Amino acid sequence: MSRTKLHITLLPSFPHFEQFAADKRIDGIRFNSAGITIPELANELAILRATEMSVPLWFDVKGRQPRVVSVNNGPTDFLDITLNHPIEVDVAAEPRVIFKAGDDFGIIRELTDGGQRLLFKVSPNYIVYPGSSLYINHPSFNILGQPFTEDEKEKIRMVIAAGLRQFYISFVWGEEDADELREIASTEIEIRLKIEDKKGLDFVANRFHKRPGESLVLARGDMYHALDHPMDILKAHRLLIEKDPEACAGSRMLLSVIYEDDPACTDLTELAWFQDIGYRNLLLCDSLCTKGWALERAVNLIEEFNARYAA
């Protein structure tokens, strides 16, 4: 068996960024742009320019994924938000709007402003902030418009000007998403296509043809809540690695190291399952990587796994 390669998720402004940017055990750093404004991105890129790096940096472009742009002062005490993309959904069916990686939900009472403003009849319990993502698992749900907002296009141009040439794209539904990113970038780039819902899986199953400089990512955090049945996530694992031997599995892994020095048995057996069915690329999620000491535990664990099991 061959070594498992590891990508982690960090911002240049994190206090432990410089440490891991020079860590030879890491194969890539995902720069998650969620919730970052254009001025904030400029500040992050300034920090990046002053940092000695040996690990490649991958910028995560937010494609079709619905995210909160603003939380409005609505006519009632219920949640009132504006999204980056217009959506459509059968409000009369009272579908759940899933927040916080599935830990909370709300129910819409009205869609306005062409589908970009959502007024709720049941609000989530936690506070919704700009940059928060959401998903609606209902057959009538659709994300409208182009893959990239004007702000996202500007961010792409900024990171290209800063010398970045490697990208993730969120919520990919087809090859046209990568094509548009290449057109905006206007230079040769490498892309990881994040598959996060049923439409993405349909693309992989029926229309995906592996192209040079592109690979798939099983984005398990959002996908788990976007599927019809929890067991469907297992088929999704096999589908991506069968279609792309370079596919990456991301998120929802090794979270036990946040709470304990030693990993949970389930985390270890999951690593072995990834390896056994063919995955050689993994991506750690934001919630683990924001904590430097937890990330160090996870990186150490992957290194030990490579030595003891994958060798």
pLDDT per residue as tens digits for the range 204-243: 999 999 999 999 999 998 899 889 999 999 999 999 999 9
Give pLDDT, residue 103. Answer: 79
Instruction: Give the number of other CB atoms < 10 A from CB of residue 311.
Output: 9
Most confident of the ranges 100-109, 224-233, 269-278: 269-278
- Would you say residue 6 has pLDDT above 90? yes
φ, ψ for residue 19 (rounded to 5)?
-60, -50
pTM score, whole prediction = 0.93
- Would you say residue 275 has pLDDT above 90? yes
Residue type, 160: I
- Would you say residue 75 has pLDDT above 70? no
- Per this entry, what is the length of the chain? 311
| 3-state SS, residue 257 | helix
What domains are defined for the chain?
5-64+147-310 (3.20.20.60), 68-143 (no CATH)
Most confident of the ranges 133-137, 198-202, 219-223: 198-202
For 11, 48, 70, 184, 296, the CA distances from 35, given in Å and listed in that order, are 12, 18, 11, 21, 25
Mean pLDDT of 86-100: 92
- Would you say residue 102 has pLDDT above 90? no
Mean pLDDT of 76-84: 90
**What percent of the chain is predicted at pLDDT more than 90?**
85
Give pLDDT, residue 225. Answer: 86
Rounded distance, CA 2 to CA 199, Å? 32
Q: Which positions ≥6 away from 92 have C-beta within 8 Å?
A: none
Contact 6, 23 (CB under 8 A): no
Give pLDDT, residue 74. Answer: 66
Is residue 217 packed enough to be buried (19+ CB in 10 Å), middle (13-18) or exposed (0-12)? buried
Model confidence band, residue 154 (pLDDT cutoffs 50, 70, 90): very high
- Which of 21-25, 73-77, 296-300 is least confident? 73-77
- Would you say residue 1 has pLDDT above 70? no
Mean pLDDT of 175-194: 97
Contact 65, 117 (CB under 8 A): no
**What percent of the chain is predicted at pLDDT more than 70?**
98
Give pLDDT, residue 27. Answer: 97
